[in-house]
Structure 1
Amino acid sequence: MSESLCVGVCMIDWDSGVCLGCGRTPEEIEGVPVPSVPSEPPKPAPLPDNVAVQVGEGTE
């Protein structure tokens, strides 16, 4: 795992032109990849057979 300079405080000091949290410029910060958000939530695991017989599988 690589170390990130980001400390979770994104506040640009427009007088100096750098972030108060990490000391980088907006151009340097812009190059940092942002984790993608999954397009679909994960599907729940199926019920065990003995439970499915008792309560049913659910609705589609």
Structure 2
Amino acid sequence: MHRATRELKCDGDCGFYIQPNGYYVEVNTPIETKLGITYITKRYCLECWKVYKHEYLRE
């Protein structure tokens, strides 16, 4: 869990911004491309993280 130093857009379904000093979760998501696997960083507010964490915590 990270604390925002500036306003950040949440990558979840809420479409809101994470406010400065607000907490968020940052995860690296693997994306398959022609050149191999690339990782992109996604940020979720804590409410969206409750919805998405099951996708990342399968192992």
TM-score (norm 1): 0.22
Structure with the higher strand share, 1 or 2: 2
Taking CA–CA contacts closer than 8 Å with sequence separation of 6 or more, which of the two structures ends up with the larger relative contact order? 2
The normalised TM-score by structure 2 is 0.22
Of structures 1 and 2, the larger Rg is shown by 1
